[in-house]
């Protein structure tokens, strides 16, 4: 996760505050794709133009990003897909990674009882990947175009290559993590003869892997040649993932979380994501607070939202985890009485020290690196997809002979309760490591409806900052009336309880920062918070916005 902070500094665009006005959104009448990488966007739009639906395009985009966005796009990681079909049906496909059977609760503690960095880099950091199984499940149940054709753009991009962008060239060169592992250093850094912008980048091993998946489906990745090579690489290098782990991996469908905010319906991610619970709880706190009357970007409104974030993250790090292994009190955390108590605990004039904030017990109320893409098709079906290999370039390891990077998702578990992980999140016992368990996630694919019709599709990468990013995009549109371009590009802020720090992007005025410090906030400026990808449906048009913090692209027809 330290790697992604460096990557963010390299890829971040000019802060919003330096623009006289943010650019207009991309507009289209029929369909729209927004991703962090132009080739992937083009692959998705081509599928839609050819009659594919949003899920078909999501499959094509997911595999294309595995080629063109190696820091986050993947087949060696996992994620979530939130889907709303035009007839009103919704589903949430969970293809989060799982802990290998050989994993154990204290596996990342050193002789002194403190966490080591083994969960961040190397073979032991990888969880069992879920992306290929998840995309196949989505396609089998909701897609309509032939599977092989949807992978064809990715196979071509890997085999024939693509021109390296300026941002990708800088990112590959800067990665000390890739340099640690010979196969990764050979493929992505040419053993020190680094790629320059405009050079062709070909990945023949990855092309072969993708071609097998195109012909044989997920069976190749989990039981076939790819599975056998991956398992052999693990054995040879001290990794934990076995052929049995791969064979037994399954993606699952879950019910999306639903809530309401100022007349809008919010569809979002259930556990093992913490993001959806966070979005609904925080919007519940804000709805009757009157915070919005102070205006977007004001010290007063930022203060109240930051205090709301602080309280959610205290609960997140205490109660949320994989619902297949832990009873997660979602109903209690979203109960109106619980939410009201959180609202009442906020002083509108002064920051509460995080040491004085603990997770309110919901029992009595019960009844790094990631990427996101948003898609709406010509029939009005919407797919919101966030998937990840966790840190930038995952654990740094490229699977021998297979060409794809592996995740370091094991770092999202609690190595030791009370100790921060690489993203600085302090987590609790509920998220402790268990074989087969899915680590807690912050990924927050979200869809908003107005009067029962599609209104907004949004999501972001950024570890724990994902939740703040998605929240602020929604608030910018709903409460402050921004178009989707302005809502995505607006400077952002983030508070995660511990550390007791209010992180803020460049673009806020010095007076605002001074007022926040005067209210008791420990303010720290960071280069970037999240990289949202959003689509707004309004007035017969689709508005698409790829974050100016990225080299993304919105395109439609």
As annotated, the active-site residues are: 370
Q: Helix 166-174 and helix 182-189: axis angle, to 10°?
A: 150
H/E stretch holding 376: strand 370-376
CB atoms near residue 163 (< 10 Å): 12
Cis peptide bond N-terminal to 456, omega within 30: no
Angstrom distance (rounded) from CA 436 to CA 325: 9
CA distances from 395 to 73, 368, 452 (A): 14, 11, 42
Q: Helix 147-160 and helix 54-68: axis angle, to 10°?
A: 20
Angstrom distance (rounded) from CA 341 to CA 505: 30
- Residue 384: name the closest of 34, 143, 29, 40 by CA: 34
- Residue 120: name the closest of 262, 39, 2, 37 by CA: 2
Angstrom distance (rounded) from CA 209 to CA 330: 40
- Residue 455: name the closest of 413, 487, 418, 430 by CA: 487
If phi over 0 gives left and psi between -120 and 50 gives alpha, with beta otherwise, what is residue 398? beta
Do the Cβ atoms of 387 and 79 come closer than 8 Å?
yes
Both structure tokens of 357: 């904030």
Look up residue 464 and give its DSSP letter.
T
Beta carbons within 8 Å of 437's beta carbon, 6+ residues apart:
98, 99, 321, 322, 324, 325, 413
Dihedral, CA of residue 324, residue 325, residue 330 and residue 331, to nearest 10: 80
Both structure tokens of 6: 């460096």
Do the Cβ atoms of 109 and 190 come closer than 8 Å?
no
Do the Cβ atoms of 94 and 272 come closer than 8 Å?
yes
Provide the CB-side half-sphere exposure for 379 (13 A, CA): 14
Provide the CB-side half-sphere exposure for 46 (13 A, CA): 16
- Residue 301: name the closest of 492, 486, 470 by CA: 492
Angstrom distance (rounded) from CA 532 to CA 433: 30
């Amino acid at each position: 996760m330290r790697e992604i902070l460096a990557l963010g500094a390299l890829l971040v665009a000019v802060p919003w505050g330096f623009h006289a006005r943010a650019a207009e959104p991309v507009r289209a009448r029929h369909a729209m794709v927004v991703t962090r990488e132009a080739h992937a966007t083009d692959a998705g739009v081509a599928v839609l133009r050819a009659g594919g639906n949003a899920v078909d395009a999501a499959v094509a985009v997911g595999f294309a990003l595995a080629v063109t966005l190696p820091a986050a796009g993947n087949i060696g990681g996992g994620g979530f897909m939130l889907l709303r079909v035009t007839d009103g049906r919704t589903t949430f496909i969970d293809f989060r990674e799982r802990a290998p059977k050989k994993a154990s609760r204290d596996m990342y503690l050193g002789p002194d009882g403190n966490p080591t960095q083994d969960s961040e880099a190397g073979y032991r950091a990888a969880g069992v990947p879920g992306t290929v199984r998840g995309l196949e499940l989505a396609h089998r149940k909701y897609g309509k175009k032939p599977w092989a054709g949807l992978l064809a753009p990715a196979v071509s991009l890997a085999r024939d290559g693509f021109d390296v962008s300026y941002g990708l060239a800088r990112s590959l060169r800067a990665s000390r993590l890739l340099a640690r592992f010979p196969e990764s250093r050979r493929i992505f850094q040419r053993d020190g003869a680094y790629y320059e912008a405009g050079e062709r980048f070909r990945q023949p091993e990855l092309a072969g892997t993708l071609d097998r998946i195109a012909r044989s489906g997920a069976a190749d990745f989990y039981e076939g040649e790819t599975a056998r090579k991956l398992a052999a690489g693990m054995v040879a290098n001290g990794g934990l993932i076995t052929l049995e782990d791969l064979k037994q991996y399954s993606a699952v469908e879950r019910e999306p979380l639903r809530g309401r905010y100022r007349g809008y319906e919010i569809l979002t991610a259930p556990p093992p994501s913490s993001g959806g619970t966070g979005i609904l709880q925080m919007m519940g706190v804000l709805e009757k607070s009157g915070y919005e009357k102070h205006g977007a970007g004001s010290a007063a409104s930022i203060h109240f939202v930051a205090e709301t974030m602080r309280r959610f993250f205290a609960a997140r790090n205490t109660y949320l985890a994989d619902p297949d292994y832990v009873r997660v009190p979602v109903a209690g955390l979203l109960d109106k009485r619980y939410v009201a108590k959180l609202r009442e605990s906020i002083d509108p004039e002064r920051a509460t020290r995080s040491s004085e904030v603990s997770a309110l017990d919901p029992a009595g109320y019960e009844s790094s690196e990631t990427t996101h893409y948003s898609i709406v098709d010509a029939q009005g079906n919407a797919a919101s997809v966030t998937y990840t290999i966790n840190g930038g370039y995952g654990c740094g390891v490229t699977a021998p002979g297979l060409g794809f990077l592996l995740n370091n998702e094991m770092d999202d578990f609690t190595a030791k309760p009370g100790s921060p992980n690489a993203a600085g999140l302090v987590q609790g016992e509920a998220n402790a490591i268990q074989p087969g368990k899915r680590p807690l996630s912050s990924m927050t694919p979200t869809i908003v409806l107005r009067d029962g019709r599609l209104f907004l599709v949004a999501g972001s990468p950024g570890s724990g900052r994902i939740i703040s990013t998605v929240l602020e995009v929604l608030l910018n549109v709903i409460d402050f009336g921004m178009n989707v371009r302005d809502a995505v590009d607006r400077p952002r802020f983030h508070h995660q309880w511990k550390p007791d720090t209010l992180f803020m992007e460049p673009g806020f005025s010095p007076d605002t920062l001074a007022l926040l410090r005067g209210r008791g906030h420990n303010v720290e400026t960071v280069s970037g918070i999240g990289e949202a990808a959003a689509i707004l449906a309004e007035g017969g048009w689709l508005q698409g916005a790829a974050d100016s913090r990225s080299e993304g692209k919105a395109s439609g027809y």
